Each structure stands twice: as C-alpha cells, then as structure tokens.
Amino acid sequence: MEPGSKSPVTLALMIVSDRYRHATGELITDADIGELRKWAGAGGEEMSPFEAACAVIRMELMRATDRVQ
C-alpha cells in the first residue's frame, strides 16, 4: 500500500456507509474504487463498489478471526 493511502477496510466502510463518509468528511474517488476492487481479489473488477466493499470486509473479518484463534 502506498504511503498515505487508505486501508482496505476504511475504503470499504466509506463505500457501504454514507454515515461514515459524513462523519469523516472523506470522499470516494474512482482510484479508491479501483483499489478496493483489487483487494476484493479474483472477479473484483466485475463487482459493484458495494459488492467489492462487502468482500473486503468479509476477508478482513476472517483474517482478524484467524489471528485471534
């Protein structure tokens, strides 16, 4: 990830939650959506921004669960 770039979860939250965007004042760019689709993995390019965001959140939650176990 480039310095200053957003984390996958941050981008996912920005896409799925207008309240998150309102609270933080952050905006979604086309580049952000492209990055999120890359993080979503295989088939991410064909996913809607919402689908890619959900896929990233699921992956991050599973990874966090694996670290706890």
Residue 20 lies in a domain: yes
Residue 1 lies in a domain: no
Residue 5 DSSP code? P
Residue 3 lies in a domain: no
- Asked if 17 and 54 count as a contact pair (C-beta separation under 8 A), the reply is no
Residue 56 lies in a domain: yes
- Asked if 37 and 52 count as a contact pair (C-beta separation under 8 A), the reply is yes
- Asked if 44 and 53 count as a contact pair (C-beta separation under 8 A), the reply is no
Could you tell me the pTM of the whole model?
0.71
Residue 30 lies in a domain: yes
Residue 54 lies in a domain: yes
Residue 58 lies in a domain: yes
Instruction: Give the number of domains in the chain.
Output: 1
Residues 6+ apart with CB under 8 A from 61: none
Residue 2 lies in a domain: no
Residues 6+ apart with CB under 8 A from 66: none
Q: What is the pLDDT of residue 3?
A: 54
Of the two residues 22 and 38, the one the predictor is more confident about is: 38
Q: Calculate the average pLDDT of the chain.
A: 85
Tell me the residue range of the domain where 49 lies.
Answer: 8-68
Q: What is the pLDDT of residue 1?
A: 44
Whole-number percent of the chain with pLDDT over 90 = 42
Q: What is the mean pLDDT of residues 4-19?
A: 81
